[in-house]
Amino acid sequence: VPQGPAVGGPPSAGGDKDPAARLSIEFGAEKHDFGPTRQGDILEHTFSLKSTGENPVRIRQTSPTCGCTVSKVVVDDGQGNFGPYKMGDEIPPGREVRIEAILDTAHKTNKTQVRINVYTNDPIGLTQLALTSNIEPFIKATPPFVNLGDIKEGEQKVQVIDIRTSRGE
């Protein structure tokens, strides 16, 4: 089940942190760059994390920073099978956690970055995952604008605009 934006702000960082709980991600794997993509593409990436502390990790919430992104959390059952995760349940040490992220680029252009905030009982409390892409507009016009100047009644001016998709179609 996708986890939408947080309602009512982030979970409190109060006394529910456990110094022996850890949610770890390989250095550099907390970011994923899709490279150049085209506006309208649906981009998918799965982040792999692991419960590495002495005590179980509890994920309280995943919260994308943009409505264009949804995330789903699945956890290893100890047998290598991944199933849906219920927020707040214990994730025993040694178990893998996957956060499946989907980024809809329909209303995005240029260099874009969105984050998914993962709130846990880990002493750090917040793990940020990032998705980036350089999103090309679906349609390009050459020239990008037309200035016909003053046109008098009865006069005609013509300019040609080439309109193509960003991939030349």
pLDDT for residue 141: 81
Pairing mode of beta strands 57-64, 31-38 = unpaired
Q: To the nearest whole number, what is the mean pLDDT of the chain? A: 88
Q: Which tens digit of pLDDT belongs to each residue from 51-68?
A: 999 999 999 999 999 888
pTM: 0.77
Q: How confident is the model at residue 4 (pLDDT cuts 50, 70, 90)?
A: very low
d(CA 59, CA 49): 12
Of 23, 36, 52, the C-alpha closest to 125 is 23
pLDDT of 90 strictly over 70: yes
- Which amino acid, residue 67? G
pLDDT of 34 strictly over 90: yes
Q: How confident is the model at residue 5 (pLDDT cuts 50, 70, 90)?
A: very low
Q: Concatenated DSSP letters for 43-76?
A: EEEEEEEEE-SSB-EEEEEEEESSTTEEEEEEEE
Q: Which tens digit of pLDDT belongs to each residue from 98-112?
A: 999 999 999 898 999
Contact 12, 61 (CB under 8 A): no
Instruction: State the chain's maximal CA–CA distance in angstroms.
Output: 83
Q: How many CA atoms lie within 13 A of 39 on its CB side?
A: 13
Between 3-12, 44-53, 74-83, the lowest mean confidence (pLDDT) is in 3-12
